[in-house]
Amino acid sequence: MDAARKGFAADGVKILHFYMTTGTHDMVIISEAPNDEAMAKALLTQISKGGITTQTSRAFTEDEYRAILGSL
């Protein structure tokens, strides 16, 4: 985790929360990035080191949700 935090930080991504989980996924990381490109770069950098795979989800804040809903 320490190495992952440093690696993500180098690409401008902050790990906000880490959870070890049971079930389909071994862990869940909640992170924040300045944009999708920074997140993609951080993930690809970590994946290229081997040993991990990822599944990402884009989360929308309540304000973003309301803006999207309001545009319908």
Chain segment 6-57, per-residue pLDDT in tens: 989 999 999 999 999 998 889 999 999 999 999 999 999 988 988 788 888 8
Helices (H), 1-72: 2-10, 36-48, 62-70
- For the chain, the average pLDDT equals 91
Domain count, the chain: 1
Cβ neighbours of 39 (radius 10 Å): 19
Phi–psi pair at 33, nearest 5 degrees: -130, 155
Question: Residue 64 — pLDDT band, cuts 50, 70, 90?
Answer: very high
Dihedral of alpha carbons 51, 13, 34, 69, sign = positive
Per the structure, the complete domain to which residue 25 belongs is given by 2-70
Check: CB of residue 18 under 8 Å from CB of residue 27.
Answer: yes
